[in-house]
Amino acid sequence: MSGIAGRTNYSDWGKKTKALLAETDETDAQEQLEAKEALGTDKYARSDAEASERVKAIEVKEQKKKLDGYKDREIAVVQSLSNVLEGADGTVNITRESMEDGKRVLTLSDTTGPGTIHLTPDLSQITTLLPNSTLIPKSYPDDVQNPAIPDPKSTPIYGLI
């Protein structure tokens, strides 16, 4: 290709070279994948180390799925309130009515501004009329702590939010 006054336009050649190289790499990768599939080399591990890595990868996926489930359950019980002092004069009372049904944990954020926030005592005894499976303690096989019978003399301790 010639540029202005018979000079070679190297930027055009560079663009064409990059495009051809990308196309060649793509076709090589596709051919390599097809060859592996035809030979069946991707089905079985080639060494003990690769076999153990494949087993570890499967276990990691399972653990990630469990952790995502825990995270989803945690998000399901958390109520977040932000900017509660915005547009308020004086004291803002946060009661059980401020929270959605089924939420047990209250998170306050962005509490800048004039005024005070008052958490009412009914927040210490958060209960709900909706059935909530996350409130039922889990039992695990061979776990010595879960099947323990609660002490009848013990009293519940209510915490602050």
61-112 confidence digits (pLDDT tens):
999 999 998 888 888 888 888 888 887 777 888 887 888 877 778 888 888 7
Q: What mean pLDDT value characterizes the chain?
A: 78
* C-beta of residue 102 within 8 angstroms of C-beta of residue 132: yes
Q: How far is CA 157 from the centre of its chain?
A: 31
Task: Name the pairing type of β-strands 78-82 and 105-109.
Answer: parallel
What per-residue confidence (pLDDT) applies to 138? 62
How far is it, in rounded angstroms, from Cα 31 to Cα 29?
5
What per-residue confidence (pLDDT) applies to 156? 56
Whole-model pTM? Answer: 0.40
pLDDT band at 29 (very low <50, low <70, confident <90, very high): very high
What per-residue confidence (pLDDT) applies to 114? 80
Region 53-66 average pLDDT: 94
* Cβ partners under 8 Å of residue 112, min gap 6: 85
Residue 134 vs residues 63, 68, 96: alpha-carbon distances, Å = 20, 15, 19
Higher pLDDT residue, 53 or 113?
53
For 140-160, give one letter per residue: b (16+ CB within 10 A) or e.
eeeeeeeeeeeeeeeeeeeee
Higher pLDDT residue, 150 or 57?
57
pLDDT band at 142 (very low <50, low <70, confident <90, very high): low
pLDDT band at 158 (very low <50, low <70, confident <90, very high): low
What per-residue confidence (pLDDT) applies to 59? 95
Higher pLDDT residue, 5 or 11?
11
